[in-house]
């Protein structure tokens, strides 16, 4: 949830907001303030400056670091960032406003021009503010580029109809790699029984890398299909590993009797259930990895139109 202090600053300056950030112009300089866990971060974006000017800004900020209550200072050729620690106490609104004033005056004194043009075509007319949730940064785009982006997005949506064929290809890869994982699982189960359930992590990652290797489409639909394949593979691996164990100690037994023991022998079925539950719990690790990977990949170009904070 965004800090009330940031909301207040955004309202006073007619800034925009998105997620945990507020941004806009302050004394003709462009700022973004992010509300993080245990810190706040203030960033100013500007047109590229010389190394000499960058060093001047850095030295000035470092000299006033303690007075401004800044924890970290970073100055680049096209932006500067100031971090405020909130480990024990929240940064005061007055402190943030004082730093805004100080930095804006510093930039103006060194003839640093604010980034107040379209980030795509350099137009300064009819600008819209956009925010990127993944990399947590904002940018300004003119109406012409907004329309172009919307048209490009529409084209991407139309292209999705051609992606369906990549699901089967990716799922084939996931299935083949999962089968390889099951074979490894059975071998481990036979020789290192106590480590059997750890195969769930290996099997999950193998399935995902099989899907990637066969270049399957990356989206939410693919994610849930992968989860289903991994769960089914884990269940199958547990049944097969116990079945191989039964066969190893009963060489004359046939497949039908092995299946009957797996399902109707209470002692054996309880072992299968226990191993399966442990394995499924451990599968949370590859699930988490897959979910993060696909969500990040899907958000690589996802810019969100920012809203203006109402007074």
* CATH code of 21's domain: 3.30.1460.10
Q: Report the 10 Å Cβ neighbour count for 111.
A: 8
Domain that holds residue 44: 4-116
- Report pLDDT for 282: 86
- Report pLDDT for 300: 43
Q: 94 pLDDT band (50/70/90 cuts)?
A: very high
Query: Which of 116, 149, 172 marks a domain boundary?
Result: 116
- Report pLDDT for 57: 96
**Spatial CB neighbours of 134, under 8 Å, sequence gap ≥ 6:** 296, 299, 300, 302
Q: 134 pLDDT band (50/70/90 cuts)?
A: low
Query: Which of 116, 132, 151 marks a domain boundary?
Result: 116
Same domain as 169, residue 108: no
Note whether residue 309 is domain-resident.
no
Distance CA 298, CA 290 (A): 12
Note whether residue 138 is domain-resident.
no
> Closest Cα to residue 22, out of 103, 117, 136, 123?
136
Residue 152 has pLDDT above 70, yes or no: no
Same domain as 281, residue 176: yes
pLDDT (mean) for 93-101: 94
Percentage of residues in the chain with pLDDT exceeding 90?
24
Strongest mean pLDDT among 30-34, 118-122, 196-200, 299-303: 30-34
Residue 161 has pLDDT above 50, yes or no: no
- Report pLDDT for 86: 87
pLDDT (mean) for 136-161: 63
Cα dihedral 101, 104, 108, 110 sign: positive
- Report pLDDT for 263: 84
Residue 299 has pLDDT above 60, yes or no: no
Note whether residue 146 is domain-resident.
no
Same domain as 226, residue 106: no
pLDDT (mean) for 140-159: 63
Note whether residue 123 is domain-resident.
no
For the chain, state the CA radius of gyration: 28
Same domain as 104, residue 184: no
Mean pLDDT, the chain, rounded, equals 81
b (16+ CB within 10 A) / e for 240-275: bbbbebbeeeeeeeeeeebeebbeeeeebeeebeeb
- Report pLDDT for 153: 53
Strand partners, 274: none
Tell me which of 46-55, 62-71, 106-115, 180-189 is least confident.
Answer: 180-189
Comparing 229 with 258, which gets the higher pLDDT?
229
pLDDT (mean) for 116-129: 73
Same domain as 109, residue 174: no
Q: 304 pLDDT band (50/70/90 cuts)?
A: low
């Amino acid at each position: 949830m965004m800090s009330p202090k940031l909301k207040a600053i955004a309202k006073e300056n007619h800034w925009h907001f998105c997620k945990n950030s507020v941004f806009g112009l302050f004394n003709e300089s462009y700022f973004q303030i992010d509300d993080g866990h245990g810190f706040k971060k203030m960033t100013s974006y500007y047109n590229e400056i010389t190394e000499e000017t960058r060093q001047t800004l850095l030295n000035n900020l470092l000299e006033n670091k303690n007075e401004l209550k800044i924890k970290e200072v970073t100055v680049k050729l096209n932006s500067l960032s100031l971090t405020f620690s909130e480990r024990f106490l929240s940064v005061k609104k007055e402190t943030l406003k004082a730093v805004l004033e100080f930095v804006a005056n510093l930039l103006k004194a060194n003839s640093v021009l604010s980034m107040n043009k379209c980030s795509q075509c350099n137009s300064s007319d009819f600008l819209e503010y956009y925010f990127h949730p993944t990399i947590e940064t904002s940018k300004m785009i003119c109406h012409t580029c907004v329309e172009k982006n919307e048209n490009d997005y529409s084209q991407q949506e139309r292209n999705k109809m051609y992606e369906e064929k990549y699901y089967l290809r990716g799922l084939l890869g996931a299935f083949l790699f999962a089968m390889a994982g099951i074979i490894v699982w059975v071998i481990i189960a036979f020789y290192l029984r106590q480590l059997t359930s750890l195969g769930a992590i290996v099997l999950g990652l193998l399935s995902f890398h099989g899907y990637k290797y066969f270049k399957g489409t990356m989206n939410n639909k693919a994610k849930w299909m992968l989860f289903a394949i991994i769960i089914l593979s884990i269940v199958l691996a547990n049944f097969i590993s116990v079945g191989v164990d039964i066969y190893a100690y009963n060489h004359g037994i046939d497949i039908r009797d092995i299946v009957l023991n797996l399902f109707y022998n209470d002692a054996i079925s309880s072992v299968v259930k226990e191993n399966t539950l442990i394995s499924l719990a451990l599968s949370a690790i590859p699930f988490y990895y897959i979910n993060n990977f696909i969500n990040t990949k899907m958000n690589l170009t996802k810019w969100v139109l920012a809203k203006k904070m109402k007074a």
